[in-house]
Structure 1
Amino acid sequence: MGGGGARRHVVNLRDRSPAPGRRSPRELLAALRDGVPGVEVDAGAGRRAQYAYDASNYRVPPLAVAFPTNAAQVAAIVRICGSLGVPIVARGGGTSMAGNAVGPGLVLDFSRHMNRVLNVDPETRTAVVEPGVVLDELQRAAAPYGLFFGPDPSSHSRCTLGGMIGNDACGNHSVRYGRTVEHVESLEIVTADGVHAVAEAGGLRPADPADDRAVRRVAELNAALEGLVTANLAQIRTELGRIPRQVSGYQLHHLLPEHGRHAARALVGTEGGCAIVVRATVRLQPAPAATTLLAIGYRDVVDAAADVPAILEHRPTAVEGMDEAIVATMRHRRGPDAVTGLPDGTAWLYVELDGDDPESADRRATALLGALRAHGRMVAGRVIEDTAERRSLWRVREDGAGLAARLVGGGESWPGWEDAAVAPEDLAGYLADFRALLAEHSLTGVLYGHFGAGCVHVRIDFDMTTPAGIAVMRAFLRDAAALVVRHGGTLSGEHGDGRARSALLTTMYGPRMLAAFAAYKRIFDPDGLLNPGMVVDPPAIDADLALYDVAPARPAPSRTGFAFPDDPDGQAGAARRCIGVGRCRSDGGAMCPSYQVTRDERDSTRGRARVLQEMLRGGADGTLTDGWRSADVHAALDLCLSCKACASDCPVGVDMATYKAEFLHHHYRRRLRPRGHYTLGWLPWWATAAGFAAAPVNAVLASPAGRLMARLGGVTPERALPRFAPRRALRDALRAASGGRPDGRPAALLMVDSFTRAFRPEVAGAAGRVLADAGVPVAVRSGLCCGLTWVSTGQLGIARRVMARTVRALDEGPDAGLPVVLPEPSCAAALRHDAPALLGTEAARRVAARIRTFAGALNEFADAGWRPRNAPRQVTLQPHCHERAVFGAATQSALLRRLGVETIDESTGCCGLAGNFGFEAGHYGTSMAVAELSLAPRLRRAGDDAAVLADGFSCRTQIDHLTGTRARHLAELLDPNPSGGENS
C-alpha cells in the first residue's frame, strides 16, 4: 500500500532478533510505559503465548499486549506505535475464526477494562457501549426495558461488541435482525495517527471540536471518502450489498448518498484495519412477547436447505441447521440425555417463530409443520414446548464449532471455509455442489449454521501439518471460492475475511473494487499499521499456520504420566484440543472460576491451553523454550482450581485439571517440591497416622504451635484445619454401614474413602443405612485410597501405585462384580476418570465402569417406590465440581426432585476450596472470591428451613468456613436413623 507520506518499517515477528530499525518487546514496553503512564502492558513470554492465537488456524505471537482503560490511552498508544512502526491489533473476546484477532506488534485487549455498558435509553432504543463489553452484558442491561440487541452470535456469552463491529457479526436470529452493521448508529474511533473522532450518518466529526488537529484530519478524511465514492460509484452500486450476508470486503455502499453517507456503518466489518473503535452507539430491538421452537428432521442437509424458502414465507425469527455429527458428539461427550427433543432424522432445522402470546406462536408452528409435510422432504417434526429441551437444543447449536472440532471417532476438523453464504433460495444447490467438492478433494466436512440466511459453517478435516496436506487445503479453498462465486455468494457471511480468506477476494471482486478497498484503507491507515493483512495486502492463506512445522515436542518426555488415549500426539494433542472458542471466558456457570474472578486471559482455560501449546512446540519458533521447567506455564496454571468443569463444559473437552497434574509431574521431577505438596498431597497418609491419636493431634493443630506447623507446611493460616476423627468412630461407622439381603448377599460395595475415614466416618454409617433403606444393602470396604491428592499435586508416580493397589483390591474377590459406591464425589471421580488414564489397564477400566457416587447409586439402584421418611422441603445445594464433570450436572438435583424436595437452590459454580487449592498459601483470596460467585450468595439467602447439602468434603469445609454452619452429606440428610447408634 502506498501513499500517505514516508513508509515506516512494519515489525515482522518471524524475524527472531531486532535488526536495525526494528523494535524488540523490551523497547516497545519501555516506550509505552514512559509515554502512557498507568497503562497496563505486558511483553512477557507467557502473555505473548496467550495472545498468539484466536479461534482460527493461525498463530502470530505479538510483541506485547496492552490493556487500555480509556480513549485517551488508546490514542496515546497509537501515536507511540506509529512513531515506532509497530502494528496494532484491536482484540475483544479473541474468538475470531478467520485469524483477524492475531497479528504482529501490539495487541490491544479491550475486554479487560473498556467493557462497560455506559447507557441504555429506552426512549430512543439505543445503548452506548465500550468495545470490550460482552454481548450478554448488553442484553442483561437492556432486558429490564424490554429491549435487546438483535444480532446474537453463538459466542454471545464471550464475544464483545467491538469484535462484532469488526467482523460485522450476525447470529442465530439474523433472518429477522440481520447483521451488526444495521444496528450501529455511531462509532467513536481513534485513527491510525491517534486522532479521536466520531463516525456517524453524514460522515465524520472530531470528538472534541476544540481539537484543531482533529478538525483538520477529519476534514481530510471526509473529503477523501467523498472522492473515493465519486470515483467508484458504479462498482460500489453493482458489486456490494447483493445478498443478505455479504460481509467479504468493505461495506463501502453505506457511503453512498442514498444510504446517508454513513461513515460508521462503512467502518463495520473492516476488522480493525481502518480505525480503532473506542465507543459505540447501537440500536436495540423490542423483545418478542412470546416465541416457540420447532425442530424438524431431514435425511440430509440438502433436503433441509431445500425447505428454507418455504419456511421463510412464515416469517421466522431463526432458521438454524446442523447435521448428525454434532449431535452424536454432544451425546458421546455429555451422555445420552445431553440432547433431548430432536425428532427422527440425520439433519435438523431449528425454526423459531414469535407471536403475541404462546398460543399464537404455537399456532404458527403447527401451520408451518403442515406446510412442510406437504412438501414431502421432512422426515419428522415437533414443537418443543419444554423449556429445558429448548435450552438443550440451543446449547447443541451454540457449541457447534467446538463439538465439530473433535468428533466421536477422534478425528480433528478445522475452520478456514467456515462461513461462506449464498442467497437462501440457492442454498440447497450450493450445498449439493459443496459436498461434491469435498469428496473431490477427499475431505470431510461437518455442516451447521444459519440456513435461513444462506450462511453455512463447516469444519473440515484439513491436514495442516504436512506440505502435501496444506497443498490440498490450498487447492480446495481456491475451488470453494470459485464455487460460492458461481452461486452468487460471498466468501464470508459473518466472520470476516481475515487471514483465512482475504487472499481469495480476487475471485469474488474485480480489480477496480479491490483497488477501491485498498484506497479506503489508505485513507484511514496510510502506513498500514492497523491489523495489517486483513482484506487489503493479505498474506498467503497458508502463512502462519499454527500446526505447520511444529518441532517434535522437544520438551515432552518419552513417557507421560497420563495415557491421553483419545488424543493424537499424547499431551501435545490434548493441549491442542483448545481451538480458541472461548466458552471458558463466559460469565457465570462452572467454567472457569479463576477467570471469572480475575478476568485475565492468563487465568482462563483457553489461556492456559495456549501457553501449554507454546511450551510443547519446542524449537526456536516458540515463545516458550524452557519446556516443562517453564515458570510462565507454572504461573498460568497456578490459579487453576483443578475443578474439572472444563472437562465437561468446554465444547472440545479440554481437561485442564489433568494437564496441570501432568505438568506438575514433570516440572518437579527430581526437584524439591512446594511444601504443600508434602502436606496436602500426602494427606491420606498423614490422616491415617493421625487417626491413632486424634485427640492430641487435634489439640496441637488448634493451638498456636499447630498454626505455625501449618504455615511451615505451606498451608494458609487463614483457615482452621479440619479435625481428625478417632479410630473408634470409624469402627462404629463401618459396623453400622454393613448389611445385606436376607441371604446375606450385598447389592453394592460401599468403599469408605480416605476423606470419609479421616474426617467424617459418620457419613459412611449413614450411607450404608440409606442404601439399605432404599433396597440396596451394601458390603463395606475400608483402607483403600483413590490417590486424588497425589494426582492434584502432580505426584503421578505415587498416585499410580496407590491407584493400582485399589484397583487390584476392587477387581478381585467375592465383591468384584458389584457396583462400587463412594461417599466422597471427588474420590469417585478419580477412580472413574483418572485411574484408567494413569494405569491404562483393563482392570482399571473394569473398576471405573463400576464406580458410582452416592447420589448416582440412589438414582440408579434405589427401589422405584422408595421415599425417605425425612426428606426436607427446601435444599441449598452445592454439587461437587468433580461429580458434575464426570458423572453429570444433575445427579443430585434430579434425585432430590424425585424424592419430593420442593425447592432446590443449586449453586452453579465451584465452592472455591477445591481440594488442596484453597488450603495452599497464596490462594486464599482467590478461593474466597470464587465462593462469592455462586455459593456464598446462596448461603446468605438460605431460609431457616433450608437444609444445606454438600457431599464433597472440600465443599463442606468451605461452607463451614463461610458460615460456621456444618453442611450435611446427602446420606445424613436422608438417614432413616439419624442418631445412627454410632459414637461419633
Structure 2
Amino acid sequence: MAGRNYGVGDPARASEATYDYASGDVERPTMVADLSELVEGDVRFDEYTRQLYATDASAYEAVPIGVVMPKSTADASAVVEYCARWEIPVLPRGGGTSLAGQAVNEAVVLDFSRYMGDVLAVDADPDDPTVTAQAGTVLAELNETIAPEGLKFGPDPAAGDRSVLGGAVGNNSTGAHSLVYGKTDYYVEEVEAVLADGSVHRFAEIAVDDLRARADPDADAWGPNGPDSDLLPRIYAEVARVLDEEADEVDARYPDLKRNVSGYNLDVLVDEARGERPLPDDSGVDPESEPGTVNLARLLAGSEGTLAVVTEATVSLAPVPETKAVALLTYDDLLDAMEDVEPILEHDPCAVEVMDDVLLGLARETAEFREVVGMLPPGTDSVLLVEFYAASAAEGRRKVADLVADRLDDVETTAEPSDGAAD
C-alpha cells in the first residue's frame, strides 16, 4: 500500500477544491520554489497545512516552517541536504501519535505517512523471519500483510492503527505486551537512513574491528556552502570511542528499567559489543549475541530523528500466538491493585493493564461501556486485566486458574489449577 488516503477533511482532495497549496500566500515562497524543484512529493508551506502539523497526540503545539511529503528516499535526501546548507531544522514525522511532542517543532516536517507506506519484502524463513518496509508503513497494515505467514511485529503501541514503522523505530516503541516483546530496538536488523548532510546509508550489524578500521574522527569537513564530505568515518570513530572509553560510565549511569527509552541506546550498544544482548523479555542473554559485533541500526532506535532520518527498515518478526486467555481482577483500592502486580508477574503473563477509578468513571458515563462496567462488583475502584498467551484454550484456562488460585480464596473457576499453584 503506497501511503494512506487522507481525502476526508483535506480541501485539496474535494472534487470542487480550489485550494492552492503553492499560491503566493505561503511561508517562505523562495524555499517552496527551491524544494519543489528538488522533490517529486508535495511541498506545502501554506497556513492551513502548517496548522494541521502544529500538533500531534500530545498537548504540545509548534507551527512548522512547512511540510514536505516525500515520495522516495531521494526526496528525503534532497530536503535534508538543502536544509543542511541553509541551517534549517528538519523533523521526520510518522503518524503523529507521539505523546510527548516528538512530532512537532519549528522545522521543515518530513511526513512519510502520505506516500512512503509500502511493504517491500517479507522473508518468512522459520529461523529468522523479517519484513522490510518504508518508514511510513502503518503497523496495523504491516501486520495484516504478514499475518498469512503466522507472523507479527512484536511491539504493539496502542495507536498501531495509525502509528508507522519509522515512528516505532524513532521512539523505540513498545506496547501492552512489552513483558514478552520488549522494545522495537530488539527487532531492528537494518535501516536505510539519511544523515545530516543528506547522504543515504544503510546501517546494520558490523564487526567492532571493522568499525575501528573505518573510523576517522577528522573526516567531517564542512565547506562554505554546507556539508561536502562523508560523515560515516566520523560516526564510526565516535561509536568506537564510546565503546573504548565510556562503557563503564554507561554501565554505571543507565537505569536498569525494562521500558527505558530515555537518551540514546548506548547501553544496548555496549551490551552487544560484549555479546551480552538481553532477550526482550529479560529472561537472559540472547543466544545469538556474539562479542565483537554491534548493530548501528539499533542505535537509531529511540533517537527521535536526531541522529538520522530513517526511510526504510528491516525488522525481525515473532510468531502469532495460538490463543489468549484473560483474567479480570477487581479491587476496591488502587494501591491494592498496584501491590498485586509483582506477584501476578510471577505467573508470566503477556500483559497486565490497570484501569483506575478515573477510567472506570469515564466508562460509566459512556453509553457503549456503561453496561459492561455495570457488571463489576459493587464498590470496584480499580481493575487489573491480566492476559496470557497459550498453545491451546485448555492451557489458557489453566493459566488463569493458577492465577486465580494464587491471588484469591474460595473462588470457583472453570479449570482446575495446576498442582501447587496456590502454594
TM superposition score normalised by structure 1? 0.34
User: How far off its partner does 1:338 sit?
Assistant: 5.7
Pair 53,203 (structure 1): closer, same or farther in 2 beyond 3 Å: farther
Residues 44 and 98 (structure 1), Cα distance of their counterparts in 2 relative to 1, 3 Å cut: same
Deviations 1:18-60 (A, max 9, x none): xxxxx95322211101233x22110110000000111222111
Output the CA distance in 2 between the equivalents of 1:110 and 1:281: 16
Segments of 5+ residues of structure 2 without an aligned counterpart are: 1-25, 212-226, 278-292, 415-423
**Which residue of the partner structure matches residue 243 of structure 1?**
257
Is 1:263 paired with 2:296? yes
- Report whether the alignment pairs 1:176 with 2:180: yes
Name 2:391's counterpart in structure 1. 356
Alignment deviations for residues 881-914 of structure 1 (CA, whole Å, 9 cap, x no partner): xxxxxxxxxxxxxxxxxxxxxxxxxxxxxxxxxx
Query: Cα offset for 1:241?
Result: 5.5
Higher-RCO chain (CA-CA 8 Å, sequence separation at least 6): 2
> What displacement does 1:179 show?
0.9
Q: Which runs of 4+ in 1 moved over 6 A?
A: 203-206, 380-383
Whether the 8 Å CA contact 2:27–2:47 is kept in 1: the answer is no
| Matching residue's letter, 2:258 | P
What secondary structure sits across from 1:113 in the alignment? coil
Q: Determine helix, strand or coil for the equivalent of 1:354.
A: strand
Give 1:216 shift: 4.1
| Distance of aligned partners of 1:108 and 1:118 in 2 relative to their CA distance in 1, 3 Å threshold | same
Of 191, 197, 202 in structure 2, the residue corresponding to residue 198 of structure 1 is: 202
- What letter matches 1:331 in structure 2? R
Alpha-carbon distance change, 179 to 214 in structure 1, aligned in 2, over 3 angstroms:
farther
Name the structure 2 match of 1:161.
Answer: 165
Structure-1 separation of matches of 2:101 and 2:84: 23
Matches within 5 A, 1:624-643: none
Aligned residue for 2:341?
308
- Letter in structure 1 aligned against 2:172: D
Matches of 2:412 and 2:236 in 1, distance apart?
Answer: 54
Report the AA paired with residue 141 of structure 1: T
SS in 1 for 2:408: helix
Aligned equivalent of 1:370: 405
Mapping 1:733-752, distance limit 5 Å: none
Higher strand share: 2
Shift in Å, 1:238:
2.1
How many Å apart are 1:189 and its aligned residue?
0.6
Distance in 1 (CA, whole Å) between partners of 2:300 and 2:413 is 42
**Displacement after TM superposition at 1:138 (Å):** 1.2
Corresponding residue number in structure 1 for 2:155: 151
Q: Cα offset for 1:231? A: 2.4
SS at structure 2 position matched to 1:364: helix
Partner of 2:36: 33
Separation in 1 of the partners of 2:63 and 2:413? 49
Name the residue aligned to 1:969: none
Q: Is the 8 A contact 1:186 1:281 kept in 2?
A: yes
Q: Is the 8 A contact 1:294 1:381 kept in 2?
A: no
Residue type of the alignment partner of 1:109: D
Aligned to 1:103: 105
Q: How many residues align?
A: 350
Counterpart-to-counterpart distance in 2, 1:105 and 1:214: 22
Identity of aligned residues (%): 35
The 8 Å contact of residues 174 and 182 in structure 2, kept in 1 or not, is answered as yes
SS at match of 1:227: helix
Contact 2:197 2:228 in 1 (8 A): no
Give unpaired runs (5+ residues) of structure 1: 1-22, 207-212, 384-984
Secondary structure of the residue aligned to 1:314 is coil
Q: CA deviation at 1:136?
A: 0.5
- Partner residue of 2:75? 73
> Which letter does structure 1 place at the counterpart of 2:135?
P
Q: Which of the numbers 123, 127, 131 marks the counterpart of 2:131?
A: 127
Q: What corresponds to 2:282 in structure 1?
A: none
The code of the aligned residue for 1:153 comes to: P
Q: Which residue of 2 aligns with 1:230?
A: 244
1:332 aligns with 2:336: no
Q: Distance in 1 between matches of 2:413 and 2:103?
A: 40
C-alpha distance in structure 1 between counterparts of 2:237 and 2:408, whole Å: 57
Bigger helix fraction: 1
Whole-angstrom distance in 2 between the partners of 1:69 and 1:134: 16
Q: Name the SS of the counterpart of 1:78 in structure 2.
A: helix
Letter in 1 for 2:165: L
Partner-residue secondary structure (3-state), 1:155: coil
Q: Is the 8 A contact 1:254 1:263 kept in 2?
A: no
Question: Partners of 1:177 and 1:228 in 2: how far apart?
Answer: 28
- Give the CA deviation at 1:355: 1.6
Aligned residue runs from structure 1 range 572-651, under 5 A = none
Q: Secondary structure at the match of 1:292?
A: strand
Indicate if the aligned counterparts of 2:27 and 2:46 stay in contact, CA closer than 8 A: no
Aligned-partner SS, 1:261: strand
The one of 90, 93, 118 aligned to 1:91? 93
Is contact 1:241–1:253 with CA below 8 Å preserved after alignment?
no
Partner amino acid, structure 1, of 2:349: P
Which residue number corresponds to residue 275 of structure 1? 308
Residue 285 of structure 1 is matched in structure 2 by: 318
Q: For residue 251 of structure 1, report the CA deviation from its aligned partner.
A: 1.0
Quickly say closer, same or farther: Cα 1:103–1:381, change in 2 above 3 A: farther
Shift of residue 234, structure 1, vs aligned partner:
1.4
| 1:479-498 Cα shifts (integer Å, max 9, x gaps) | xxxxxxxxxxxxxxxxxxxx
Q: Deviations over 1:514-544 (max 9, x none)?
A: xxxxxxxxxxxxxxxxxxxxxxxxxxxxxxx
Deviation at residue 214 of structure 1 after TM alignment? 10
Which secondary structure does the structure 2 equivalent of 1:320 belong to?
Answer: strand
Tell me the residue number matched to 2:14: none
After TM superposition, give the deviation of residue 311 of structure 1 in Å. 1.2
How much has 1:80 moved relative to structure 2?
0.7
Alignment partners' CA distance in 1, 2:123 and 2:349: 28
Deviations 1:305-329 (A, max 9, x none): 2111211111111111120221221
One-letter identity of the residue aligned with 1:79: E
Deviation (angstroms), 1:330: 2.6
Question: Contact 1:296 / 1:382 at 8 angstroms: preserved in 2?
Answer: no
CA positional deviation for 1:297: 0.6
> What's the offset of the Cα at 1:334?
2.9
Asked if 1:298 corresponds to 2:302, the answer is no
Contact 1:294 1:352 in 2 (8 A): yes
Name the CA distance, whole Å, in 2 between partners of 1:381 and 1:301: 24
Aligned to 2:155, what secondary structure does the other structure show? Answer: coil
> Which stretch of the first structure deviates more once superposed, 315-324 or 255-264?
255-264
Q: Which amino acid aligns with 2:407?
A: L
SS of the residue corresponding to residue 202 of structure 1 reads strand
Q: Within 2, Cα distance between the matches of 1:215 and 1:107? A: 25
Residues 800-841 of structure 1 show CA distances to partners (whole Å, capped at 9, x for unaligned) of xxxxxxxxxxxxxxxxxxxxxxxxxxxxxxxxxxxxxxxxxx
1:88–1:342 Cα change, 3 Å: farther
Cα separation, 1, equivalents of 2:193 and 2:390 = 39
Post-superposition offset of 1:263? 0.9
Post-superposition Cα deviations, 1:273-329, rounded to whole Å, max 9, x if no partner, equal 110000001111011111111111112222112111211111111111120221221
Paired letter, 2:35: L
Post-superposition offset of 1:340: 7.0
The alpha carbon displacement at 1:75 in A equals 0.6
Residue in structure 2 matched with residue 318 of structure 1 by the alignment: 351
- 1:121, 1:127 within 8 Å by CA — same for their partners in 2? yes
SS in 2 for 1:176: helix
Counterpart in the other structure of 1:560: none
Deviation of residue 187 (structure 1)? 1.2
CA distance 1:43–1:381, change in 2 (3 Å): farther
- The letter of the residue matching 1:219 is P
CA 66–340 in structure 1, closer or farther in 2 if over 3 Å, else same:
farther
